[in-house]
Amino acid sequence: MILFKNAHAIAKNNRPLTDYMWLCDIDRAKNIDIGSTYTNEKAAGDFIHSIAETERMKTVNLTEKNPFFSFMMDGSTDVSGDEQETMYIRSALKGVVTERFLNMSTPNSTRSQDLLEHVTSVLQKNNIDKSRLIAMGSDGASNMTGVRSGLSTLLKEHVSPEIINIHCFCHRLELAFRDVVKKSKLYDKLMTLLIGLYYFYKKSYKNKQGLKTSIEAMKKGIFPTKVTGTRWLPHLYRGMFAFTKTYNALEAHLSTASHGNAKGEGLLKLMCDKQLMAFVLFLQDALEPAIRLSLKLQRPEGTLSDSLCWVESTIELLSEKKGKVWE
């Protein structure tokens, strides 16, 4: 059991198999008798494969207990640059919504026809009856949701015309936000400032130590955070929070660093723009309800009715803010 837990920890934390033997050495140092037969990398790989197979069967058994199921799929690239498509099964058993990982593998391409073959192959390989498929969820890319030849359209043609296509609510929220701010020059300036500050201190040890000294002197502040990422709105909000919390320390350090650094001088100039700083405070206040909505929409156990309630509550909160503080 201890060796299984060590192997599980390695897989769970994306650690190399060499760490497995290191964990075994720690167990021996604790005077735990683990033997020597299964304390090598091959044994670790076998344990991880066994754990994965057990979890896969749990997912398959879950779909067998339900008359219907849906799946979510998204793509990414691995370290070698190959496309990897990840599939999750979503179903409900006795009123409890459950999401479980099913598969990650490489399709022939990201064309919708190849994705259809990929999905069909994965379901068939896992002995899951595709006739019980009722919906699919995706990020809304054209190869997934295109009305002419997207994956959802092909599934309706080849599996069932009743399949529901669901565009991820979080992605739709991100797109709505971008549509609102994409024409704002202040927003472009803000992103230039936040991204610039992050890399200004991340890529220079001297700048990082200088800001650290300023933060310690002010007794307030944190290092700039990355404002781009998968969960974009929460990243942006954390970046603005770090910026406003550390404003005094940043201004103090950049005032000194800008004398011999053109980039630092440019960042300081943006920070002294009153209109931009007012926009930061406005956006931070206006985005707070949207951030909470984004995080709630990411909950695996959330249902459609839950999502509609959260959206309506967010609209009410934003309506209350309209014209009161930032008129």
Label residue 231 by pLDDT band (50, 70, 90).
low
What is the residue type of 275? Q
Residue 249: closest CA among 201, 215, 296: 215
Residue range 161-190: average pLDDT? 88
Residue 45 has pLDDT above 70, yes or no: yes
Higher-confidence residue: 240 or 232? 240
| Cβ neighbourhood burial of 221 (10 Å; 0-12, 13-18, 19+) | buried
Under the banding of pLDDT at 50, 70 and 90, the label for residue 324 is: low
Look at residue 230 in the predicted model and tell me its pLDDT: 64
Q: Where are the domains of the chain?
A: 2-59, 67-167, 173-321
Confidence of residue 327 (pLDDT cuts 50, 70, 90): very low
Q: In what order do the strands lie in the sheet with 133-138?
A: 96-105, 83-93, 69-77, 133-138, 164-167
Please check the confidence at residue 302 and state whether its pLDDT lies above 50: yes
Q: By C-alpha distance, which of 114, 117, 91, 113 is closest to 102?
A: 91
Burial class (CB in 10 A: 0-12, 13-18, 19+), 88: middle
The residue whose two tokens read 């002197």 is 217
Tokens of 292: 């909470």
Strand partners, 182: none
pLDDT in tens, 1-41: 788 888 899 988 989 888 888 888 888 898 888 888 888 88
User: What local confidence, expressed as pLDDT, does residue 123 receive?
Assistant: 92
Protein fold of 67-167: Nucleotidyltransferase; domain 5 (3.30.420)
Question: Which tens digit of pLDDT belongs to each residue from 93-130?
Answer: 887 888 899 999 899 988 999 999 999 999 999 999 98
